[in-house]
Amino acid sequence: MTSSSDAPATPNAAAAAAPTIYVCITCKRAGDPDTEPRPGAILAAATAQAAAGTAVSVRPLRCLANCTRGPSAAMRCNGSWAYVFGGLDATCAAALVEGAQLLAGAADGILPWRGRPEPLKRGLIARVPPIDFAGVFEGADE
Ligand code: FES
């Protein structure tokens, strides 16, 4: 029997705590024709496949407002900073999953530079602090 302290506060609490990758399925590269499937949808499918059997959740969505620098994806997990990446393609799927796992294991909620897959170094667009962030973070992302 599970005690109440072991159970998630809400049915979605466990899912919210898991590392999650959001992949824009409507992304294409600048100048690409509007053909289907979009490169973003291909990236989303490849990322879901790469995440199979892991604790990483992959959620497709339409537009991360990084359209001119897509294909785009973002990641975060409970209490972490959120990261947005661009210039991705389907070959970056495993890197996204690896990065999400690194982020989930980071005690400070910051995606470590050391060990970060290369596509997540060169493709970083932005990082956003967690909702409860208070103070001044003075670290650079490298
Ligand atoms: S269409 Fe992908 S970020 Fe806007």
The number of the ligand 1 atom at minimal distance from the alpha carbon of 40 is 2
Return the pLDDT at 12: 53
Provide the CATH number for the domain around residue 96.
Answer: 3.40.30.10
User: Is 99 part of any domain?
Assistant: yes
Owning domain of residue 118: 17-128
Q: Does residue 15 or residue 61 have the better pLDDT? A: 61
The string of pLDDT tens digits covering residues 67-103 is 999 999 999 998 999 999 999 999 999 999 999 999 9
CA of 86 to the centre of ligand 1 (A): 10
The edge-to-edge listing of strands for the beta sheet with 20-24 is 57-61, 20-24, 73-76, 82-85, 124-128
Predicted TM-score (pTM) of the model is: 0.87
User: Is 57 part of any domain?
Assistant: yes
User: Is 136 part of any domain?
Assistant: no
Domain tally, the chain: 1
Least confident segment among 45-49, 82-86, 123-127, 136-140: 136-140
CA of 35 to the centre of ligand 1 (A): 15
Return the pLDDT at 114: 94
Indicate whether residue 67 lines ligand 1 (CB < 6 A). Answer: yes
CA of 133 to the centre of ligand 1 (A): 27
The string of pLDDT tens digits covering residues 57-70 is 999 999 999 999 99
